[in-house]
Structure 1
Amino acid sequence: MGYNFAYEVDKTARSTPNKVAVLCVGEDGSVQQITYDELRLASNRLARGLLGAGITKGSRVMVLLPRGIAPYIVYLALLKTGATIVPGSEMLRASDIGYRVRHATADAVIAHHELTMHVDEIRADSHSLRHFYSVGGIAQGWTALDTLTARSSDDDVEVDTDDNDIAFLSYTSGTTGGPKGVIHTYAWPREHLAIAGTYWFDAQPDDVAWATAGPGWAKWVWSPFVSILGNGATAFVYTGRFQPEGYLSLLQNHQISLLCATPTEYRLMAKVTNLSQYQLSLRSACSAGEPLNREVIDTFLREFNVTVRDGYGQTENSLLVGTLQNMEVRPGSMGKPFPGTRVAIVDDDGRELPVGEIGHIAVHKSFRTLFKGYLDDTERTKRAYRGDWYITGDKGRADEDGYIWFEGRSDDIIISAGYTIGPFEVEDALVKHPKVAECAVVASPHPERGHIVKAYVILRNPDDANDEGLVQELQEHVKEMTAPYKYPRSIVFVDSLPKTTSGKIRRIGLRQLEERTTVL
């Protein structure tokens, strides 16, 4: 039998059955929790119910769930059946869901009852879907997931999975076309735990660990799910909205010992007045998504005696580079490649560059957590490599001590508050508005979010630019057409866009304009 992460978590359940696996706090202060043994039994019952309903080894199941205990049960149960999990954020809308379902040829959807309406919009065009399960409430035309467990045994499930079977099919934005389906196998969690989950995230059995990423993102699989449960720690979950003061109170009141948050969350917490009023129990803190600035690192060290350590990775791999425990922090640097990880700065031909020269941040093809390719897209997979190196799409340089410094994207991908956003998705939504003739979307520097989405829009009728409510109207339109976090926070109406001789929009010109004219 090959490696199966769910069975590894079951081992923890047998050795420490009464240990709290997930501690969940609601916005109203309500508390729910589940022990490791309760998690084992609940995922067994659900796995048996799913198997009985026809979800078996190789089935592809899209999961649309918000933060809570349910995602932990569902993910473990699906792994026990040998299925492929297609993670989906609760912020996805019908067009996003439809694309992923059709591209993945998903067999089933497990969705929170408040999200089922988005799936219903694409049912007629999604011929592979046969099973629809709702969580947390009843939805017309859906089977309540609880009914699958009502008569199920909680005996251990034994499905033989192979290391090369597809465990996770995560979608990540591209600069052109739709999102890419990133393939990770059943062996991936083992390799992730052996490297990033040990050397960087550093969860230990006694920790109450809070990784703020939400389900549906690769980062949720990395940290809240695999790195915490895989190390036998307690996962802290908060289901409310981010408020800096609220986060600090939660850290204090629940004695969180390990925090992993986005740079934006750290930046806003660091700006709270009278930070000394909060008595935190943090022994370790880390961040990923974009570079941390010195002010945040200095503030947390001064106020809470903890060093916030940076890390870098992608959906296509896992954490690759980071500042490890007891390593010298160099603010602005993402740290060093993890032990045993071959990360280098290479040129356009895949040749390693000398110290100090800017090039592509690249990962050697032998890296054990590197993805197995983009689903049904051998050409896109091939283009991601230069010789033996996978090209991340980011530019950087290495110093004489091996620290790597981020220099920017080599393509048009936008990273805003930790979210990765493809300009094509936003542009596609904008041009569907009847008043928009053409548009281009780029990243614009922002003091708190790192960058924001900015849209340059050509209107069908230039006089509509005088409508004071049009900007908000377009923003709301994008929120309805695609995930709300992608909406352009800044919109500028223009008469023309820079283009190449072949007619392609030159986003690089707009990006350079933003970098020159934006004052942080």
Structure 2
Amino acid sequence: MSKEMAAAGAAEFRAARDLLLSHRLDQQAAHRDFTWPKPDIFNWALDYFDEVAERRPDRTALWIVEDDGSEAKYTYRHLSERSNQVANWLLGQGVRAGDRIMVMLGNQVELWETTLAAVKLGAVITPTATALSEGDLVDRLEQGEIAHVVCSVAETAKFEALRGHWTRICVGYMDGWLSYPDSEHAGLEFHPPHRAGPDDPLLLYFTSGTTSRPKLVTHTQRSYPVGHLSTMYWLGVRPGDIHLNVSAPGWGKHAYSSVFGPWNAEATVLVVNQERFDPGRLLDEVVRCGVDTLCAPPTVWRMLVQADLSAWKVDLSEVLAAGEPLNPEVVDRVRDAWGLTVRDGFGQTETTLIIGNGPGQEVVPGSMGRPMPGFDIVLADPDTDELSDTGQICVDMTQGPVGVMKGYADSPDRTRELTRRGRYRTGDIASRDSTGHITYIGRIDDVFKASDYRISPFELESVLIEHEYVAEAAVVPSPDPLRLSVAKAYVTLAEGVPPDADTARAILAHARARLSPYKRVRRLEFAELPKTVSGKIRRVQLRTAESERGAVTDGTRNPREFWEEDLPGLKG
């Protein structure tokens, strides 16, 4: 495999990237002229990132600001060399191409080093949030067929009681674990014994669906590094920019906007770590660090606008939100304070950014934008598959877009179902107007977002009904002024159990002990569940009731309804 072929692949990638940068403010032209680069020989970390490190060795690639005010900057050259060392060291510990590595790290430099090293090795990264419980980890280790685990000292306790034939690697020093710092003694040059192909797996994401066990989304050496050219375009980030993304590691949005998107543009990734989110401090750092582009989930934007934004003299060129629709009043308040419009974008764990309001484009209120360069989007009736102005968001696969998953590793039948007739079906419903702008409506199934995380009702219900007081349960989203929605459980009690505050406290405490924090059931109402003639629970009826009621801000409750705030000891 010649260096000339690898260099040609990198040149093809850069040419496509440069075309998008040249059409940065003209989304229509970018969509018309862009074609996906599809080199047969191309390793993003070896052939592109390392080449950037040679051309711009002293440019800051990663800037981490800690909660105590300390900070560290890492250049492209430093991360290129350190990832070589980590790749060499992992190889010495038995990590091979195709091995699955669970990476459970916070926003720390080792996360980025390990990611680059895995790309170079051809290993498969399974990003894992530190908020996950031991129960979550048991399923993921088994279902993901994990061969190696990389985590911090603080997270090692979660693995103590877990069994399996996987290598334990600690970013620090812990008895019984390999010590990641030993990688600092490895060689600075890396020559892969096996060069991964473009269709070889690179990332394996767990994503909750309509069942209790998450699906395993497989992205390849091409679909994520190359596919995130669309994300780079949506972000509007340029070479040398400082890009701040507010996102927790372990979720797809982190790779979107804290790794591949900005680094495709040769920009600086800025991280502001906070143990407890402080809007004022984040804005202080935006000003001090000279941030050019800021991307945050709607929950963060709703917290930011509670402050007087005009008090911060920002020098931002782009502000963005993704994960769920952003309230129009929040967009208005940001525009009034800074003269900038928060731009929406739409993507999934299964894709890169596929729909968005590009930089410099007129934003239609409520619309999440138009198709990104490289993607042709159709709306199809969920039942008939016929094209429609309102329907399921589908990616036309006939032209071979790059930024779509290879499939679900554990469910080929599900993959075939979602990609039949040359379309990838997102499971989301939207409408399109005469100008081509697409407006999000909602999910087809019962999965919903709470505090920016996707929640599967079945998963929460399965935990609730384990409690002796609970006969049946149905979980639906309940409108919330800060988080957009929170998980609310409608519960039918076992015979003889009183529907009072003590019962509510016991059930919610049980759920809290069994579920990760981001899956928290925050509201509970005792009721007989509505059902179809065949005996199925009509969640749609419950969802409609919650939606029509709207976000409660005056403290009112339905009869027999309890919130965390009502029950001492549960809030927080």
If the TM-score is normalised by the length of the shorter chain, which range does it land in?
over 0.9
Aligned to 1:3: 42
Aligned to 1:267: 302
Aligned to 1:344: 378
Question: What CA distance in whole angstroms lies between the structure 1 residues aligned with 2:312 and 2:184?
Answer: 44
Counterpart selection for 1:452 from 486, 509, 534: 486
The structural deviation recorded for 1:479 is: 3.7
Aligned to 1:324: 358
Counterpart selection for 1:133 from 164, 169, 177: 169
What is the one-letter code of the residue matched to 1:52? G
C-alpha change, 1:12 and 1:433, in structure 2 (3 Å) is farther
Q: Decide which moves more: 46-55 or 452-461.
A: 452-461
C-alpha change, 1:160 and 1:376, in structure 2 (3 Å) is same
Q: What pairs with 1:98-117 in structure 2 (closer than 5 Å)?
A: 98-117=138-157
Q: TM-score normalised to the size of structure 1? A: 0.93
Q: What pairs with 1:141-160 in structure 2 (closer than 5 Å)?
A: 141-147=176-182, 149-158=183-192, 159-160=194-195
The structural deviation recorded for 1:472 is: 4.7
What is the one-letter code of the residue matched to 2:445? D
Counterpart selection for 1:235 from 261, 264, 269: 269
What CA deviation, in whole Å up to 9, does each residue of 1:158-191 have, x standing for no partner?
3411001000010111112410000110011343
C-alpha change, 1:163 and 1:40, in structure 2 (3 Å) is same
C-alpha change, 1:237 and 1:471, in structure 2 (3 Å) is farther
C-alpha change, 1:458 and 1:115, in structure 2 (3 Å) is farther
**Is the Cα–Cα contact under 8 Å of residues 451 and 518 in structure 2 kept in the other structure?**
no
**Is the Cα–Cα contact under 8 Å of residues 43 and 120 in structure 2 kept in the other structure?**
yes
Counterpart selection for 2:395 from 355, 363, 366: 363
Counterpart selection for 1:488 from 521, 540, 543: 521
What CA deviation, in whole Å up to 9, does each residue of 1:426-446 have, x standing for no partner?
222223334333311111122
The structural deviation recorded for 1:292 is: 1.7
What CA deviation, in whole Å up to 9, does each residue of 1:273-304 have, x standing for no partner?
x3222111111111111112222222222211
**Is the Cα–Cα contact under 8 Å of residues 124 and 202 in structure 2 kept in the other structure?**
yes
The structural deviation recorded for 1:421 is: 1.3
Structure 1 position 178 matched with structure 2 position 220: no
Question: What CA distance in whole angstroms lies between the structure 2 residues aligned with 1:219 and 1:512?
Answer: 29
What CA deviation, in whole Å up to 9, does each residue of 1:108-153 have, x standing for no partner?
11112211222233x22xx4x3201112x33343222112x14311
Aligned to 1:22: 62
Aligned to 1:78: 118
Aligned to 2:255: 221
Counterpart selection for 1:37 from 77, 87, 93: 77
Aligned to 2:569: none
Q: CA RMSD in A?
A: 1.8
Question: What CA distance in whole angstroms lies between the structure 2 residues aligned with 1:319 and 1:462?
Answer: 51
C-alpha change, 1:10 and 1:108, in structure 2 (3 Å) is same
Question: What CA distance in whole angstroms lies between the structure 2 residues aligned with 1:185 and 1:329?
Answer: 33
**Is the Cα–Cα contact under 8 Å of residues 93 and 480 in structure 1 kept in the other structure?**
no
Please, which runs of 5 or more residues in structure 1 have no aligned partner? Answer: none
SS of 1:204's equivalent in the other structure is coil
SS of 2:259's equivalent in the other structure is helix
Aligned to 1:499: 531
**Is the Cα–Cα contact under 8 Å of residues 65 and 90 in structure 1 kept in the other structure?**
yes
Question: What CA distance in whole angstroms lies between the structure 2 residues aligned with 1:499 and 1:112?
Answer: 47
Aligned to 2:287: 252
What CA deviation, in whole Å up to 9, does each residue of 1:192-231 have, x standing for no partner?
2332212x01221221111111211111111101012222
**Is the Cα–Cα contact under 8 Å of residues 416 and 453 in structure 1 kept in the other structure?**
yes
**Is the Cα–Cα contact under 8 Å of residues 86 and 168 in structure 1 kept in the other structure?**
yes
Question: What CA distance in whole angstroms lies between the structure 2 residues aligned with 1:164 and 1:186?
Answer: 6
C-alpha change, 1:209 and 1:472, in structure 2 (3 Å) is farther
Question: What CA distance in whole angstroms lies between the structure 1 residues aligned with 2:156 and 2:537?
Answer: 37
Counterpart selection for 1:66 from 98, 106, 127: 106
The structural deviation recorded for 1:476 is: 4.3
What is the one-letter code of the residue matched to 1:46? V
What CA deviation, in whole Å up to 9, does each residue of 1:251-281 have, x standing for no partner?
1122211101001111221121x32221111
Question: What CA distance in whole angstroms lies between the structure 2 residues aligned with 1:219 and 1:473?
Answer: 35
Please, which runs of 5 or more residues in structure 2 have no aligned partner? Answer: 2-40, 553-572
SS of 2:407's equivalent in the other structure is coil
Question: What CA distance in whole angstroms lies between the structure 2 residues aligned with 1:475 and 1:77?
Answer: 42
Question: What CA distance in whole angstroms lies between the structure 2 residues aligned with 1:328 and 1:150?
Answer: 49
SS of 2:336's equivalent in the other structure is helix
Structure 1 position 334 matched with structure 2 position 373: no
Question: What CA distance in whole angstroms lies between the structure 1 residues aligned with 2:531 and 2:149?
Answer: 41
Question: What CA distance in whole angstroms lies between the structure 1 residues aligned with 2:431 and 2:263?
Answer: 34
C-alpha change, 1:463 and 1:480, in structure 2 (3 Å) is closer
**Is the Cα–Cα contact under 8 Å of residues 349 and 386 in structure 1 kept in the other structure?**
no
C-alpha change, 1:157 and 1:433, in structure 2 (3 Å) is farther
Calculate percent identity across the aligned residue pairs: 34
The structural deviation recorded for 1:367 is: 2.6
What is the one-letter code of the residue matched to 2:344? D
Question: What CA distance in whole angstroms lies between the structure 1 residues aligned with 2:82 and 2:507?
Answer: 44
What is the one-letter code of the residue matched to 2:59? K
SS of 2:497's equivalent in the other structure is helix
What is the one-letter code of the residue matched to 2:135? S
SS of 1:189's equivalent in the other structure is coil
What CA deviation, in whole Å up to 9, does each residue of 1:391-417 have, x standing for no partner?
211111100000001111111111123
**Is the Cα–Cα contact under 8 Å of residues 3 and 190 in structure 1 kept in the other structure?**
no
**Is the Cα–Cα contact under 8 Å of residues 512 and 521 in structure 2 kept in the other structure?**
no
Question: What CA distance in whole angstroms lies between the structure 1 residues aligned with 2:153 and 2:505?
Answer: 29
SS of 1:205's equivalent in the other structure is coil
